[in-house]
């Protein structure tokens, strides 16, 4: 079993839709949870970072962590064509390295 | 521009050959991480260096090796290349060994696309 599982999609939504991206994990020691966005032919860039359980909002993006269910989510409101990218969840324990999901490819159709 | 520089951007080579990928971390970052990204495996952690010393090893093959030099740039050496080694290779850097800022402070370069024919 992989430590981090993510549905690879692809996911296509119309412009303005609410997008929900999810990951599950098996290691209960993970404390730091991140979402990275990767545009085609580019390196991943940090989008959202959350410590432990709870919600974090940044503009149109909301990250949720439910440690009891080992489940994290990223919501994108009012999705835009410029949001079309691959979204990777990532997580880690204290000083160890990041474990990534395989990424979900999102396309927002104008 | 993320501040992490990777060269070359593209590399095409034959099976059995050896290549070297180079990474210059963001200014001030001491830690360098190498990741391999293929279509079916996602981002796989290979190895980490912190201030010149190997810090952690992931799923790195014995045919692969890396080092970090005194000026903090890093090189990833891939030898006896096989078709399955074709992938995107990313370098990331951070200030601290654990990622910095509590966790999330990895900055990725744009990657080197390696094609083995």
Over residues B12-24, the pLDDT tens digits come to 999 999 999 999 9
Residue A17: is its pLDDT beyond 70?
Answer: yes
With beta carbons less than 8 A apart as the criterion, state whether A45 and B2 touch: yes
Structure tokens at A69: 């269910």
- Please state, in angstroms and as integers, the Cα–Cα distance from residue B63 to each residue in A12, A32, B54, B69, B91, following that order: 39, 32, 17, 20, 18
Which of 4-33 (B) contact A at CB < 8 A?
4, 33
Confidence at residue A95, expressed as pLDDT on a 0 to 100 scale: 64
Does residue A82 belong to the interface with chain B, where contact is any CB pair within 8 Å?
no
Chain B: give the shortest CA distance to residue A88, in Å. 9
Chain A: give the shortest CA distance to residue B96, in Å. 9
Burial A14-30 (b: 16+ CB within 10 A, else e): eeeeebebbbbbeeeeb
Burial class (CB in 10 A: 0-12, 13-18, 19+), B85: buried
Task: Considering only the beta carbons, identify the residue of B35, B43, B103 that sits closest to A32.
Answer: B103
Strand partners, B31: B50, B94
Neighbouring CB atoms inside 10 A of A44's CB total 29
| Chain B residues whose beta carbon lies within 8 Å of the beta carbon of residue A105 | none
Positive or negative: CA dihedral A105, B1, B5, B9: positive
Q: How far apart are CA A18 and CA A7, in angstroms?
A: 17
Does residue A77 belong to the interface with chain B, where contact is any CB pair within 8 Å?
no
| H helix or E strand, kind and range, residue A65 | strand A61-66
Contact B43 A97 (CB under 8 A): no
Q: How far apart are CA A34 and CA B33, in angstroms?
A: 17
Q: What is the mean pLDDT of residues A98-102?
A: 88
In a structure prediction context, what are the per-residue pLDDT tens digits for chain B, which is 117 residues long? Answer: 889 999 999 999 999 999 999 999 999 899 999 999 987 678 888 999 999 999 888 889 999 999 999 999 999 999 999 999 999 999 999 877 655 444 556 899 999 999 999
Does residue B39 belong to the interface with chain A, where contact is any CB pair within 8 Å?
no
Q: How far apart are CA B42 and CA B51, in angstroms?
A: 27
Q: How far apart are CA A72 and CA A79, in angstroms?
A: 19
Contact B56 A44 (CB under 8 A): no
Q: How far apart are CA B60 and CA B49, in angstroms?
A: 13
| Chain A residues whose beta carbon lies within 8 Å of the beta carbon of residue B105 | 46
| Chain A residues whose beta carbon lies within 8 Å of the beta carbon of residue B48 | 97
């Amino acid at each position: 079993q992989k430590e981090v599982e993510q549905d690879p999609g692809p996911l296509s939504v119309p412009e303005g839709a609410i997008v929900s991206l999810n990951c599950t994990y098996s290691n209960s020691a993970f404390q730091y949870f991140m979402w990275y966005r990767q545009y085609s032919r580019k390196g991943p860039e940090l989008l959202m970072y959350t410590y432990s359980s709870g919600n974090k909002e940044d503009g149109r993006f909301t990250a949720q962590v439910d440690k009891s269910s080992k489940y994290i989510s990223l919501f994108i409101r009012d999705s835009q064509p410029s949001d079309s990218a691959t979204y990777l969840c990532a997580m880690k324990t204290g000083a160890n390295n990041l474990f990534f999901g395989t990424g979900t490819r999102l396309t927002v159709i104008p | 521009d993320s501040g992490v520089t990777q060269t070359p951007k593209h590399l095409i080579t034959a099976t059995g050959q050896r290549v070297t990928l180079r990474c210059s971390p963001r200014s001030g970052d001491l830690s360098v991480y190498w990741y391999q990204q293929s279509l079916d495996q996602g981002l796989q952690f290979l190895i980490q260096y912190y201030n010149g010393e190997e810090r952690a090893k992931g799923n790195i093959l014995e045919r692969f090796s890396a080092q970090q030099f005194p000026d903090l740039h890093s090189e990833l050496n891939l030898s006896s290349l096989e078709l399955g080694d074709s992938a995107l290779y990313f370098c990331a850097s951070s200030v601290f060994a654990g990622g910095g800022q509590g966790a999330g402070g990895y900055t990725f370069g744009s990657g080197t696309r390696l094609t083995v024919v």
